[in-house]
Structure formats: C-alpha cells, structure tokens
Structure 1
C-alpha cells in the first residue's frame, strides 16, 4: 500500500495582520510536521487574509505577502504545503495558491472561477485564470511556473481547486481528473450560513468519488474581517467516503485535521469509473518535483463531528456558535474589553445578552480563563482562573435597563432576572427626566404642547434616542463595545429608531429575523446548546408580548399591531427581497399559505414594499451585522437597493386594483 498522511488546516486570520497571520500559519505547519503530515492544505489567501477588500490593489499588500511567504519557506522542510496570496502577473491581479515543497516554491496556481455573488466581490479585484494556460513569473529573482499546473511529487500527482472553483459548473476538478491526479487540495475561505457545512461535506465526498481522487478541503475559522463568520470544518475524503472532519466554530488560532490516504486504493477505484475516458498526457503544465511524500502508517481516521450537528435543533446550535464566535473575535480584534447592551427586557436585547454569555462559555471550553482575560484585556486573570462563566461575564458584559414612564414592571423584572442569571454588571437608570427635558425644550421652541394624536412618532423616538448617550458613555468609560439590538425583520421595514436601538459598533442579530429569534429564545429556555444547557431566566422574557414600550400603557402597544405578524412580515420579505417578486406575485405566493389572512395580506404587502423603499437609508447606516443565512439585508455585502426610488408606487396600485376587482 502507498499511504500518505494529508492534513487540512483551519486558520483564524485577520486582513493585513501580517505577524499574527504568519504566526498562525507557522504553528499550523509545526503541528502538521509533528503529526507527520506529508501534504498540508492551508486556506485561501491565508497570508493576507481573505477580506482585504480594495487593499488588494495596494502594491504594499502584495509586497508584504511575498515577504511573509519567503520568511515562512525555511519552516517547510520535509513537508509540502500551500500558501494563499495575491499575485500580480502581466498587470493583472490573481487570487493564487503558491505550492511550497521542502522549502521551495515549485509553482503558483491562480483561481479559475471567481466568487462574485452575495458576500463576495472577487471580480472587483481579481481576474480569472483560463483553464489549460500556463506561464512563468519572476518572484524574488526566481523563475516560477504559473498557471493551470499539476505537480508530480515522486509517485503522487496532485492539483488544486481554490474555493469557488469547486462550486462552479466548469470546475477544474474535471480537467485535473483527466490529467490523472491522485489528490486535489482545495484551499478555501467559505463563510458560514445555516446548513452549509452539510452541503460542503456532500461536495467534498462526492468530488472524491466522481473524479476518483483524494480530496482535502481547508477553511478559515472565526470572524476574519468583521461581517462574515467562518466555521472551519475542514474535510478529507477519498473514493466517496469522508475520512476526516475537523471541528467547527473553534476559538483557537489554528486547527489541524489529518487522515491517511491509500493512493493505491484511490487508483483502483478510479480505474473502475465507467465514465472515465483516456486522455493522452501531453506533459504540459506538469511540474516534476524532487520530493517523495513520506510513507504513512495505516490508522483509523478522525471524524470529529459534534453531537449537535445531527440534532433536530441544528439551526439553533449553529446560530448560537456562529454569533458567539463572531462576537469573541470582534472584541479581540477591535481591542474592546467586553460589551455593553441596553437590556430592555424584550426579546432582541435578551438574545444579544445571552449570546455574549454563550460566547464566554464556549470560549472557556477552548482556552483557560487566563487566556480569555488576556485576549479581551481583562486585568484579573489570577482572580478569575477557576471562576465559572457567570463570574467572568460580570467583567466582560455590562447591561443597563433604561426606564421611561411608559416602561413596565414586567420588562424591568425580566431584564433584571436575565442579568442576574448570567452574571452581567447590571444598572437601572431612569431616563424619563431627560425625555421630559427634551420635550419641554421643543415645546418651548415651537410654542405648543406635543401630544400623542399629532406627534406619535416624535414622542416614541425621543425615548429610544435618549437611551443611546448613557450606554455610549458606559462604553467609553469601560472601553467596551456597544452592541445594537435590532433584528432583520425590523431592518426590512425600518421599525427601529435611528440613533436609538440601532446604536452600536456591531449589530449581531441584524442578519436574523424576529420569528427565528423568538423561537431561539424558547429553545434557549428549554434546551440550550448541547454543552451549556438551558437558561431558565429567559422564561421571564418569553412570557411577554413583544413591544417597544414607547407609547402610554393604556394604548397597549405591541410590535405586531404596529406592523403585522412577524411570521407574515418574514414571508413577505422572503418573496419580495429574497426572490425579487413584485407585489402581485408576492400576494399570489402567500395566499395559499395564509388563507385566513386573505383580506389583510394585500394591505400588509403594500405596507411592506412602501416601508422597504422608504427606509433604505436606515439600512445603509446600520452597524455591521453577522452573516448567518442567504437572506441578509446588509447593503454593503449582500442586498443592494437605491436609497431614493419610485417606491413601487405603480406596482402597489396594481396590487390593490386586483384586490378591489
């Protein structure tokens, strides 16, 4: 048997953080060498970081990337590995993978299929390489093969796909299979979204079967650049069988997954592929490398999959872990010493508060309290060494309940119950005198009293806005990051006070809808994450009807009375924004699902489209949000819409005309 040990790495990189990125790469290589890995696959653009945006155009970015590559070469003795970096060739910029073997760059392979949808804007910076083309480039006074290359390392032949290459219909793998490669390394930077890991496993496993190869997939992990969260989850497969799966949502700088592949077994299975045709080997683009991949010893391979990945509550688990990891890295990389939340006792602020608590709990499962405190700038590691998550939460999380005359005892108690349960430093402030001061000032200026009949929106919004300065002040005093608490359903229709509940440096739940959040809180109360358990205190919030509490109590204000049922709002958003349907088409899609609302759906749909257009300016001003599914409304990374538009006026008229007729 010809056995080789192949490794795949997940790295927590940061754009343009040269020393940290190099350190993570170096430590991953060292661990791979210790585990006798012969071939190591690192993530896409791992030297620079994937999310450099327009900094890819800067000559200094490319110069520094080359410098880091050359600094790392001496540490690759006895191993073959990949390094992702941008490469300029013939005045064009390429997203490329340098293949380094035993301390030498033996070739550089550029990406053929660029990701240009959703979160990705690769065609803005990079050019796609043409299949079958090869060239050479000069790098550090060396002539290096460049292009669509395969590498012959002794008796093993391998090729590359770079992330999107594997997801495209015209993928390099088919071409590589005809060139008789034994192994494909996929250097990826694949962001998290719900259930995407399942699709990745299918892709990797089926690729190994369909093309008759061993297939190794790497990935980033953590919050790399601010918005996208990467879940790791490295994979290695052969002959249609998943051999190894790495952990997901890890809090460590790097993780190595490895597996022993039987090259003879791969070739035997390839010989049995009925669809495979013989293609004469022209030797073009084949780089012979004087390196023999070390023989490995047969062993069982680690399928490191957590129990929760097969649970009925997969989305709830994934959401908890993705946002928690995103928050941790955001705090660490922004050098914030924790978070501030304006805790109203409602669903949204409670969800944000609990996610911070889960962040601490998950982090402590990957590192010591001393490490956590050091990374988040807490000056008491010795005191906290053996403390539970609730004790550390007191130092990391500050919550504040800010009451007006319209606030209820129920929400005050709910906020305190949650804060006491998870251990945040909690304050209660009475902001009503400040609200009245603003109201009196304006009344004096306009020479009339404000009233709820004429000034409803103004009287509501001033309460929300007065809450902002106090929590911003706490954030400044404690050097913490203020978390905004608006959700995606509110963002869709502008049901949020700009400079009120939208205030914050990051908006962790702006990418998820209200219906999911309410269900998630019920799950958190009754089940909770597998390794944490339920948070009973959330029951006090789940018993309340969602309300902004900005109108007098006798008006019995609720969110859904102000808008529409959240379930309907989210369904309209899915049709109107997700599927780009016109108002009439949205009505046709929803009537069969909600026949009981046949009379209410038309005005609700008209209201949604009107508010959507009217409030694009708010979405443009939202703090960065985390991406968790393919329905994000963030105009900077996912869903672009003009700030000024016709507002679907004619389309809404057609909708209402159909209903009238």
Structure 2
C-alpha cells in the first residue's frame, strides 16, 4: 500500500453569476491538478456561482444554473480519475445550504453543507443560507433529474460526513469554520481524519494574512494532519478583494504556498505529503473519538510504487509589508473592475496631495503588474488589455506606455489654487505617464453663482472678502461639487474628443479616516465610481507613498509628502460649526491627529465602544499625553462630528475594503445615519467621571 499522496488546492478568480466563465476556470484548475499528479482537487467556496451573489441566492435561477454547471463538470472527461471538491448552493427540504459537492468518475460521493456561518463584518450568510446544525447526522438527498441522468444515482449522502478512501480519510471545513472556536477539524482529527480541506472566500485586509496562515498551521499543530486551504481571488462584484493564499500544511508546517496577489485567474498549488508522517505525529496523542459518518469510496490517493516520490518540505511563508499590500491588492481589484466593466480606463481628479497621489500610484502599480503578467506570457491579461484600449494589435512597451492609454488625470484649478499643487500634479502625471488635463473651474463656478444671483439678487462672498460663515461654506461646496460634475463630463467625453471609443471610470480618493468623520463635501469630487483608497488610513497612505518613491522611482511624490494635505480637502464637513481658514489644517479642524483618529475608529468598530466606554479606554491609552479632560473633549468632539456627518456614508463612493474599522454603510458598518448629535446621556456619564477625577 502506498503512503504518499499528491493533493491540489487552488485560487480562482470567480465572478458572481458568471456561470460560463466560472465553469471554464474550474475545469482548467482540474486539468492543471491532474497534470501535476494530484488525485484530489479542492476549490474555493461557492465557486460554481460565485461567492458574492447576495440576494441572487434567493432566486431559483441561481440554484438551477449551479446544477447545470455541476452536470457539465460531471460529464467532462477532464474531471475523470480525480476526486473533485466544488462549492455551490443546494436546497434540501426547501432550505438553502452553502455546500461542498464531492464527486468522482461521474458519481457524487457526498454533499457537505456548511455548519458555522460567516455573519459579521462584510458577511451576511445567515441572510441566504441556514447552517447544518445536526452534528454527525447524515440524510438522503434526492438529486435533480438532470444529475440523475448522468450519475445513475437517485440519492446521495447529505450532512456532516467524511470521505473514506482506500488509504486515508478526508474531512471538510468551510471558510469561517476554521475561525470558529468549535472548528470541525478538532473532532475530525480525534476520529482519525488525516486530511482536512477548507474552501474559503476570505477577503483581503491589511495585516490579515498572518492570522490566516497561523490558523491553518495551528489546525494541524495540536493533533497532526494535512490541511488544504483554497480561496477565492479577485473582485467578484463588490467592495472586497479576495486575496488567494492557497496553501498546504502538514503537522503545523506550511509545505506549499500560493500567491496572495496575482493577475492569474487560475492558480493551482500541489503538494506531495506522506501519510505516515501524520500517523507518526499522532502516535503519542490521546484520542477520544466521536465517530463521524464515513462515506466509503473505492479509490486510492496513493500508489504502491511511491517510495521514490519526494515529499514537500516545510517552507517559510513570505508576508508582504503593508505598503506592498496597498500597492498590490487595490491594483488587482481595479484591474478586475476595469476589465469586467466594459470601460476604457480611469479618470482621476489629481490635486498633487497625499490621497489623490496615492490613487494615481495604485493605477501605476496596476500597469506595472499588467506589463509583468504580459511578459510572463499571460495571454488572458494581454487579451483583456487589448480589449480595454480598443486596439487588437496593441502590445504595451512599458507601464508608462500602458498608463497613457488607460489613465487620464486632471488638475481642476480655481482662482485660489497654487502653482505648487498644479506642478506637483503635472510632475507625477509625467512620471507615471497618464494623459494629463488642466481645467479651470472658475467659469463654471461663476455661472452657477450667476444663476443664484439672478434669482435672489445676492452674490455670496468668501469670509476673507467680508462674507459670513454660511457664505464661505456654500462657496467652498460649490467648487467641490463643480469638480465632481466636470470629472464625470471629461470621463464620458474626453476619449470621444480625442477620436477614441469608450468612457472612463471616475476614481475617488477619500481615505478611511476622513470618511469616518465625514470630512468631505457630500457629492464633491470624493463622489466617484469606485475608490481604491477608501478603506486605507492616512498614516498607511503616507508610508505607501514613501514606498512608491523608492520602489517605482516616483520622485515627484516628495512634494506631496512635504505638504501634509491636498488643497481639495480644504472644505468643511457639512453642517459643522467650524470654519476652515487659509492657515488651518485638516487635523486642527477635525480636532485630532490622523493617528488618534485611527485609534478611535478601531475602538468604535472593532471594540464596539460607545462614547463612555471609549473614554474609559482612552484615558489609559493616552494617559502620558492627555489629561482626562482633554480625552473627554476629543471623544465628544469625534462623536459630534461622526453623528453630524454619518448621512454621508449612505452615498459614499464604493471603496476597496482594507481596514477593519471602515465606516462603509453598504454592508460592513450597519448604523443609523440620523443621530441625536448632543449625546446628552452619554456625554454626561463622561463628564461625571472627569469631575470625579479632578
């Protein structure tokens, strides 16, 4: 009897409801796995229909088309002689389940429903699926007729069961089950399951990869075993980016690692591992098995002559720095969005400040990745690039050349703009190669004010010219909103004016900290089609620009780093009682530094703190720098700003999710947008504690 098995796991760039494309990518992954000698292939969660179908899971069409794809997989000669483990929704007794379907040689072996659901943060699985909460229970599932015609089976096992081959035993986990304190692999291992599989749709967040790797390692450190991890990759239609990281571990060691960020739609990771290593590792452990239902299959993963087959050895996981993650994750997300949107490129209002410069650098990074993929003979990337630029024979000569074809930047000046900001934007555009436009907005602003004056007989003035605070705020907001209108006008018609087909996607450039406080004008140039930096903190963006200076030789960024904020941010948040002056800074207007704001954001979202509990934590965290009275002032100031401006989150541009304290109102941060901004009870509790202390 053999002892070594070759197993395959993968990262697939699936797209919600793209049944044809998803099928092709699944088949390609199986083909690669077989070529590399694997007898078992694992794919990501809900790979047949795509993970992010959301309320489309309610539709019978989604279930129907998933089974149609499953039938084609069963019939394909590519899937023969290898155990295929695929993900899809299944309805059993009129209840929808998120399932794994394992099949071999035109026979379904078992269907395993997810038992522990992801239902926090970006995930709402309990909205669409029910958990299978009947531990160790298996029922009969009656197959649809279209599947019976292929398999000759009427029913198959459905429930909490494992697969027993001639040489080993395989048990399933699904995504969130690995993160749960009641992870199934614990009891599976105690019952002698040697191979654990995990099909995931786990999204990227900065500094998260090490958590995922450590969980996979620890799953087999305590009781031994082999762990296969598969993950979705790319943007499947929403704000998150699934970042791959397929891997294989044995007895607490990683032996095979996939890429975290890649433009390859299909990546297959294989590893040859020795089952005897698992058995030896477990030899001295005590077991209290709770027997699992075993589905027996007349198939072996190993061969009798594998003694000379080399096993994979432990490797050290290479983690990206946060700066590299910002460079790679949003860039891959942007590319998926662009190539699937049918548009011809991006347009960015570029002020030369930190935020808009960061967005420009991410587009530059995207072009670098595309050119590298084309150099590496990725035919799919080259085909997509040619379709986007509208030239069937186009071959990018450099990232700068490609940037000139798909990226337009514009500097929108007013009479109050400085030549320094204009030059910074122009210099950065020259270095990355974007098509750059200078636009003066004064004519448009005066035209709008002329309409107002014709109706009211009044002409508002800036405060510096004798106007009131209300006039000053209104005039600033007009300029901000005119920039948004012009951005969309040029996005729709600038290529037309140059005799080229297509339109451009408008990119936003508001960071997560300013979104948290509402420090922007509603419907200004922060309103865009998508925003690659909307989930990234100001502190991380500044570090990212330093990285770009060195890594991409974008020396023009030094000017942006020397100036703390770009001029577009010199607008008041709506309804605020504070007024920007020519000498003020955004941090002064917000009443806290960006570092302090990041701490507050994490306490608000991750630690789930209201005003009083936040005050209780911050008096200890900031005790060396601030008195309790000063901490109380900052907490109350933040919650006033937050509650005044929360309504802006209902219209904020869809942003790449990169931070766990994002205020995104779409699905991640579900809170009211109409508050009692006085917070009388909460603030009184804080004041009482300050009084006691003093």
- For the superposition of Structure 1 and Structure 2, which TM-score range results when normalised by the shorter chain? over 0.9
The reply on whether 1:541 has 2:582 as its aligned counterpart is no
Which residues of structure 2 form unaligned runs of 5+?
149-153, 496-502, 572-578
Change (3 A) 1:373 1:235: closer
Instruction: Say whether residues 1:289 and 2:277 are aligned partners.
Output: no
Distance 2:276 2:107 in 1: 27
Q: Deviations over 1:163-182 (max 9, x none)?
A: 11111112211221233112
Q: After superposition, where does 1:173-212 map in structure 2 within 5 Å? A: 173-212=185-224
Residues 1:326 and 2:329 aligned together: no
Given the alignment, which residue of 636, 652, 658 partners 2:683? 652
Per-residue CA deviations over 1:536-562 (Å, capped at 9, x if unaligned) read 221121111314355899823432232
* Conserved? CA contact 1:486–1:501, under 8 Å: no
Match of 2:83 in 1: 80
| 1:131/1:172 contact within 8 Å kept | no
TM-score scaled by structure 1?
0.93
What SS class does the counterpart of residue 187 from structure 1 fall into? Answer: strand
SS at match of 1:208: helix
Give the alignment partner of residue 400 of structure 2, picking from 372, 390, 413. Answer: 390
Partner of 1:560: 587
1:126 aligned onto 2:129: yes
**What number of residue pairs does the alignment pair up?**
647
Q: Is the 8 A contact 2:254 2:317 kept in 1?
A: no
8 A Cα contact 1:548 1:559, kept in partner: no
The whole-number CA distance in structure 2 between the counterparts of 1:156 and 1:91 is 34
The whole-number CA distance in structure 1 between the counterparts of 2:333 and 2:11 is: 15
Q: Is the 8 A contact 1:547 1:559 kept in 2?
A: no
Q: Structure 1 residues 68, 192: closer, same or farther in 2, change over 3 A?
A: same
What is the root-mean-square deviation of aligned Cα atoms in Å? 2.2
8 Å CA contact 2:254–2:316 kept in 1: the answer is: no
Specify the SS of the correspondent of 1:119.
coil
Tell me the equivalent position of 2:548: 524
Alpha-carbon distance in 2 for matches of 1:375, 1:189: 24
Q: Residues 475-624 of structure 1 correspond to what in structure 2 (within 5 A)?
A: 475-477=491-493, 478=495, 479-525=503-549, 527-528=550-551, 533-548=552-567, 550=570, 555-564=582-591, 565-591=593-619, 592-593=621-622, 595-598=624-627, 600-624=630-654
Question: Are the counterparts in 1 of residues 253 and 314 from structure 2 also a CA contact under 8 Å?
Answer: no
1:328-477 matches, within 5 Å, as 328-368=335-375, 371-372=380-381, 374-376=383-385, 377-380=388-391, 382-385=393-396, 387-451=397-461, 452=463, 453-454=468-469, 455-477=471-493
Question: 2:28 — aligned with what?
Answer: 27
Residues 101-116 of structure 1: pairs in structure 2 closer than 5 A: 101-116=104-119
1:154-165 aligned at under 5 Å gives the runs 154-165=166-177
Note the C-alpha offset of 1:390.
Answer: 0.6
Distance 1:78 1:572, change over 3 A: same
Inter-partner Cα distance in structure 1 for 2:169 and 2:602 = 46
Shift of 1:343: 0.4
Give the superposition deviation at 1:214: 1.1
CA positional deviation for 1:340: 0.6
2:310 maps to: 299
Deviations 1:614-653 (A, max 9, x none): 2222111112111112112112221111121223233234
User: Equivalents in 1 of 2:447, 2:314: separation in Å?
Assistant: 62
The 3 A distance-change label for structure 1 pair 602 and 440 is farther
1:90 aligned residue: 93
Deviation string, structure 1 residues 268-315 (Cα, Å, up to 9, x no partner): 212222x32356x5xx621111222243552253878785x26xxx11
Q: 1:294 to 1:366 in 2, by over 3 A?
A: farther
Alignment gaps of 5+ in structure 1: none
Instruction: Give the CA deviation at 1:194.
Output: 2.2
Cα distance in 1, alignment partners of residues 616 and 126 from structure 2:
37
Aligned to 1:243: 255
The TM-score with structure 2 as length reference comes to 0.89
- 2:574 corresponds to: none
SS state at 1:555 partner: coil
Question: CA, structure 1 residues 263+304, in 2 after alignment: closer, same or farther (shift >3 Å)?
Answer: closer
Q: 1:557 to 1:443 in 2, by over 3 A?
A: farther
Report what 2:151 is aligned to.
none
How has the CA–CA distance of structure 1 residues 217 and 474 changed in structure 2, closer, same or farther, with 3 Å as cutoff?
Answer: same
